[in-house]
Amino acid sequence: MIRMVGLDLDGTLLRQDKSISAYTAEVLGKAARAGARIVPVTGRPLAGVPESVRSLPGVRYCITSNGAMVYDLEKKEVLQETLMAPGLVLEVLACTEGIPAIREVFTGGFGYHVPEDYEKLRARFLGTPVMPYIDASRKKTRSLEDLIKREERGFENISIMCREATDRERVRERLAILEGLHVILPWKTDLEITHAGAGKGDALLFLAGLLGIGREEILAAGDSDNDLNLLQRAGLSVAMGNASPHIKEAADYITEDNQHDGAARAVSRFLLEEE
């Protein structure tokens, strides 16, 4: 019996235009009425989880920043954080020295970048469905280093978007000397870095434990490198039709792509037994 459904957002629950189809909303509503917890599990920070997702039936909790935060939307309460210390974040950013890259750090549910990097992001994403998400979830700061030094809470995530794939590999090689990190490769030029103890699947299991739900009662779906831990921890793992090859290899079941309601069709098949 499936009692929890953990769904990645971009490339999984959301279509390419970042919308949710009426069919998907209907299926998730049926799943919620059947008693399942619907849990968004995303690399986005908390501020980047759209209202269309927050308002879905059955959504009370969400996991953000690649598993670094578990959040109760109803109580507006952080249930768990797995954060990188400021000193480690500074060491990570030092690994980008001399390499053209957009650098962002995430804390308190928001991403922070300097104004010059915001303009680079606009050049990269203006006119795409990604830009409204960036504007909703990012803040500008005059200096990342100064922000990091005065932020005692710690950091959820670091995003490094390089100009070329070869630049990403140079950063990745430099990061290899640092301990306590989990490095994710979401795109051929990009890296995302979290605390080594953070993972989407680990966070989902933590939440399931709080709610008295067993691993074997969890269905999870994803499409990208940051979803590997999620699929490895779920009782039933589903890869999207648009997923990376290594994600498909790790999954129990491959569904249709995110443009054709793949996540909802898997929920319908395995939870509602309608397909």
Q: Is 10 helix (H, G, I), strand (E, B) or coil?
A: strand
Global pTM reads 0.95
* Cross-strand bridge partners of residue 187: 190
- Expressed in angstroms, the distance from the first to the final Cα of the chain is 16
Residue partners of 75: CB distance under 8 A and separation at least 6: none
User: How many residues appear in the chain?
Assistant: 275
H helix intervals, 157-213:
165-175, 200-210
- Cα–Cα distance between 182 and 167 in angstroms, integer? 19
How much is the pLDDT for 240? Answer: 98
pLDDT in tens, 193-204: 999 999 999 999
Q: Quick: pLDDT tens for 94-142.
A: 999 999 999 999 999 999 999 999 999 999 999 999 999 999 999 999 9
Look at 232 and 275; give whichever has higher pLDDT.
232
CA atoms within 13 A on the CB side of 107: 20
Amino acid, single-letter form, for residue 214 = G
* pLDDT tens per residue, range 29-58: 999 999 999 999 999 999 999 999 999 999
**Distance in angstroms (rounded) separating the CA atoms of residues 35 and 189:** 41
pLDDT confidence tier of residue 78, bands split at 50, 70 and 90: very high
Residue 199: predicted pLDDT = 96
Element (H, E) at 140: strand 138-140
- Res. 275 pLDDT band, cuts 50 70 90: low
Residue 274 pLDDT grade (very low, low, confident, very high; cuts 50, 70, 90): confident
**Residue 149 above 70 pLDDT?**
yes
* Under 8 Å between Cβ of 182 and 225: no
**CA–CA dist 210, 9 (Å, integer):** 23
Which pLDDT belongs to residue 187? 85
Structure confidence by residue, pLDDT tens digits, 210-228:
999 999 999 999 999 999 9
Instruction: Domains for the chain: give ranges and CATH numbers.
Output: 4-81+198-272 (3.40.50.1000), 86-195 (3.30.1240.10)
pLDDT band of 152, cuts 50, 70, 90 = confident
Give the Cα separation of 131 and 163 in Å (integer): 18
**Is the per-residue pLDDT at 206 higher than 80?**
yes
User: 219-255 as b/e, with b when 16 or more CB fall inside 10 Å?
Assistant: bbbbbbbbbbbbbebbbbbbbbebbbeebbebbeebb
How high is the mean pLDDT of the chain? 96
Give the 3-state secondary structure of residue 54. Answer: helix
User: Cα separations (Å) of 56 from 9, 16, 29, 40?
Assistant: 13, 18, 7, 10
Buried b (16+ CB within 10 A) or exposed e, 133-156: bbeebbeeeeebeebbeebeebbb
pLDDT tens figures, 8-18: 999 999 999 99
Is residue 153 predicted with pLDDT exceeding 90? Answer: no
